Amino acid sequence: MSNLQLVLETLKEKKLLKETHNVSDSSVALHDVFNKGQECKDGSLFCCIRGEKHDGHQYAADAVQRGAVALLCEYPLPLSVPQIIVEDARWAMGYAAAAVYGFPSRKISLYGITGTNGKSTSSYMVRSILETAGEKCGLIGTILYSDGKRDLEADRTTPESCEIQRLLSRMVKNGCTSVVMEASSHGAIQGRLNGCLFKSLLFTNLTPEHLDYHKDMEHYFAAKKKIFDEYVIDDWCAAINIDDKYGETLFSAFQERCLSFGLNENKCHDITLNSFEMSLSGIHMNVTFPNDEHIALGLPLTGRFNIYNALGAITMCYKMGFAPDVIQKGLETMPQVPGRLEKYFFSNKVCGVVDYAHTPDALENVLSTLREVCQGKIISVFGHGGERYSANRPLLGQVAARFADVIIVTMDNPRSEDPSQIAEEIEAGITNVPTNPPHYRILDRNEAVRTALSMAKAGDVVVITGKGPERFILMHDQKIEYSDSKAIQQWALDVGLRWN
């Protein structure tokens, strides 16, 4: 529990406080912070956030009726409760929430994972290593939020700042000593990370994504670099993939705090990959540390990109002082990451794979990896989200045409766009590639998955990408229940096949 005075002092220190309204007693107790009026309860601070479709100021009266005892807003409202006036309520909310919840990021070690691809898998790897070392570790990421007692399905990669601070507070209460958190570029730019201070950061890579928001790669990179500049404790450290040109830039800027990793034989890395072997079932790799200590480990994952993910997790944890044998055990015993190269080996010798890859770079990583280890044909099933960076659609088609033998273009999350138009833009890329493999348009995603699996023969791999662990299709304002993994399992049950 905190009080209004501590919130005011915090915002004043951050130079965010403009004025107050109706504040006659700053000792008012505050228990929670919310930006949705319907969530408010007794003792809440309600933050009036302006969104794309709604303005939180319009819901302040309802929040007060539900128990909010103070407001964070951008102008005075005709309500009798204390009001904290700031220029940008969204930006101030994280700092206010941190004060209300007792500055939880000062009481727990924050491990931040940032980059375009590999964040979720890397976060699972790091958490497995930390738990092997005996730490109780929370998780905030694209797949789920875990507070040390229960897991919640994630709504977005980086939640709103008040939700992050609430989660961190619960983790502290539940005995967590650390948390692994995916830190997105949107989170940095929109202030969702405000109130967070990372002890360690991992940079995976940077490829074109979210450019409908960031406009170009330089602005996208600036958003990532902002995390290193502004959201760290004094003695922070980092692990950087210097095979990526943006990683090189980061490493140059913060070299004294960083260890590097990568696969490029023409570069000198602090953590060195000596050799590796890869199959559809996993990876065996040998790694050397700066003190010349070696480990040989087997990963229950495949793909060169997962070698990068493993090296990143190894580098981050080694820099934080964890022993190589603990790192090795943590990686070898890590759980399956939902929707990340999630494999189903069927009794008819067909393999089904579910992966979240939804950018051209990520799709190329998945398909090129499977091309290396596939004994038969690759059948690729994917679409693209509506209201997302549409320039990626023909590029996705081109990537699939280069690596797959058969392509089925289907629906992803069309949102307000026409699924047929999205499919047409993808198909334009497929037909641009000289090989122009057979491709079909089956917009019903469940039917597309079943068709692909039914046409597969022994040795073939059916790769279903774009949605990963998501359990809904977003179409207009509807959430239609659907899961790639459940679609695969139901097909197998219907045709009488076993899987493992």
Give the count of beta carbons closer than 10 Å to the beta carbon of residue 76: 13
Query: Which candidate, 302, 306, 308, 299, places its Cα nearest to that of 333?
Result: 299
Residue 212 has pLDDT above 70, yes or no: no
Fold assignment, 104-332 = UDP-N-acetylmuramoyl-L-alanine:D-glutamate ligase (3.40.1190)
Coil, strand, or helix at residue 172? helix
In the chain, pLDDT over 70 holds for what percent of residues? 98
Residue 55 has pLDDT above 70, yes or no: yes
Residue 414 has pLDDT above 90, yes or no: yes
User: Mind listing the pLDDT tens digit for each residue in 142-174?
Assistant: 999 999 999 998 877 789 999 999 999 999 999
Q: Rg for the chain (alpha carbons), in Å?
A: 24
Architecture per CATH, 2-100: 3-Layer(aba) Sandwich (3.40)
Residue 351 has pLDDT above 90, yes or no: yes
**In the predicted model, what is the mean pLDDT of the chain?**
95
Every domain of the chain and the residues it spans: 2-100, 104-332, 342-495
Q: Return the pLDDT at 136.
A: 98
Residues 411 and 423: their CA atoms lie apart, in Å, by 8
| Mean pLDDT for the stretch of residues 74-82 | 96
Residue 431 has pLDDT above 70, yes or no: yes
Q: Return the pLDDT at 214.
A: 59
| Mean pLDDT for the stretch of residues 134-138 | 98
| Mean pLDDT for the stretch of residues 261-284 | 94
Q: Return the pLDDT at 153.
A: 87
Q: Return the pLDDT at 312.
A: 98
C-alpha of 405 from chain center: 30
| Mean pLDDT for the stretch of residues 110-122 | 95
Q: Return the pLDDT at 207.
A: 85
Q: Return the pLDDT at 208.
A: 72
Contact between 381 and 410 under an 8 Å Cβ cutoff? The reply is yes
Residues 470 and 487: their CA atoms lie apart, in Å, by 12
Residue 425 has pLDDT above 80, yes or no: yes
Q: Return the pLDDT at 216.
A: 86
Q: How confident is the model at residue 1 (pLDDT cuts 50, 70, 90)?
A: low
Residue 51 has pLDDT above 90, yes or no: no
In the chain, pLDDT over 90 holds for what percent of residues? 89
CATH of 342-495, one of 3.40.50.1400, 3.90.190.20, 3.40.640.10, 3.20.190.10: 3.90.190.20
Q: Return the pLDDT at 156.
A: 77
Q: Which long-range contacts (CB under 8 A, 24 or more apart) does 252-256 make?
A: 253/225, 253/228, 254/228
Residue 488 has pLDDT above 80, yes or no: yes
Q: How confident is the model at residue 329 (pLDDT cuts 50, 70, 90)?
A: very high
- The token pair at 324 is 């190589």
> Are both 2-100 and 104-332 of the same fold?
no
Query: Which candidate, 344, 429, 340, places its Cα nearest to that of 383?
Result: 429
Q: Return the pLDDT at 209.
A: 64
| Mean pLDDT for the stretch of residues 318-335 | 96
Residue 251: φ, ψ to 5°: -60, -40
User: Mind listing the pLDDT tens digit for each residue in 385-412?
Assistant: 999 889 999 999 999 999 999 999 999 9
| Mean pLDDT for the stretch of residues 223-250 | 96
User: Mind listing the pLDDT tens digit for each residue in 84-108?
Assistant: 999 999 999 999 999 999 999 999 9
User: 181-208: string of b/e by CB count within 10 Å (b at 16+)?
Assistant: bbbbbbbbbbbbbbbbbbbbbbbbbbbb
User: Mind listing the pLDDT tens digit for each residue in 456-473?
Assistant: 999 999 999 999 999 999
Of 303-307, 438-442, 461-465, the one with minimum mean pLDDT is 303-307
